[in-house]
Amino acid sequence: MNIILLGPPGAGKGTQARILEEERGMKQLSTGDMLRAARTSGTEMGQKVAAIMDAGELVTDEIVIGLIREQIQIGSEGGFIFDGFPRTLPQADALGDLLHETGQNLDAVIEMRVNDDALVERITARSTCGTCGEVYNDITKPIPEDGKCTTCGGTEFKRRADDNADSLKTRLMEYYKKTSPLIGYYYAKGQLTFVNGLGEIDTVKGDIAAALDG
Ligand code: AMP
């Protein structure tokens, strides 16, 4: 099964993608994570995108489509969860073509709906485990008192450079200008379903399961 999690920054796509990965053997493809990894390892592409990402703007379609193409060609037995991709109409078209060329289908697009006030609150409270990427939130899911990640025991936690109010404003604007048209695009294709992204993690997880399993 191949699915897209669609929604603004902070909607909970990464958190739900990790749950789906664990519980259904699917593979999370987060272009944001891939780009951050390219930055950390200091590749030419990583250096090129660093300033764009920190400003909260979108990197070129060509770069992210290249990253996704590579992964689709490698394949995943349990299918893919596309997290943060596609973010533009050309990316959505390219994904359709790539899946088609490899004899695969897109099974569902899940829009995670949240209101903008909640996003600001969530994002400015967000941190991740430096070892495994588990997502924490100062209010809803604080780092355990013993300072150890619940998933991997890691003890280093970091905040993303673009998780600040300024960059978030640009990221939201990019979302509404370039990504939100995908809601109509997938609706017209009969592939869109939505869940309320504002609930507890387990509630959202249940709603996604209901959407996928019918
Ligand atoms: P994310 O982790 O999904 O919030 O992505 C972090 C940043 O990476 C975004 O603000 C963009 O600068 C860049 N990025 C991630 N995915 C894409 C994409 N599909 N298209 C363009 N830029 C992306």
Q: What is the pLDDT of residues 36-55, one digit of tens each?
A: 999 999 999 999 999 999 99
Q: Is the pLDDT of residue 116 over 90?
A: no
What does the pLDDT look like over 5-15, one tens digit per residue? 999 999 999 99
CA-closest residue to ligand 1 atom 14: 32
Strands (E), the chain: 3-6, 27-30, 80-83, 108-113, 126-129, 135-137, 157-158, 192-196
Residue 133's pLDDT band, with cuts at 50, 70 and 90, is: confident
pLDDT of 179 > 90? The answer is: yes
By most ligand atoms within 8 Å of CB, the mutation choice from 87, 112, 158, 164 for ligand 1 is 87
Active site residue 69: no
Residue 50, burial from CB neighbour count under 10 angstroms (0-12, 13-18, 19+): middle
- Options 24, 69, 113, 160, the catalytic residue: 160
Q: How far is the CA of 115 from the centre of ligand 1 (A)?
A: 20
Out of 115-119, 140-144, 200-204, pick the least confident: 115-119
**What is the band of 104 on the pLDDT scale with cuts at 50, 70, 90?**
very high
**Which residue in 122, 171, 178, 205 is the catalytic one?**
171
* Residues within 6 Å of ligand 1 by CB: 9, 31-32, 35, 52-53, 56-59, 64, 84-85, 87, 91, 162, 171
Write the pLDDT tens digit of every residue in 68-95.
Answer: 999 999 999 999 999 999 999 999 999 9
Q: Whose CA is nearest to atom 19 of ligand 1?
A: 85
How, if at all, do strands 157-158 and 192-196 pair?
Answer: unpaired
**Residue 65 neighbours by CB under 8 Å, 6+ apart:** 90, 91, 94, 98
Of 122, 155, 173, whose CA–CA distance to 15 is shortest?
A: 122
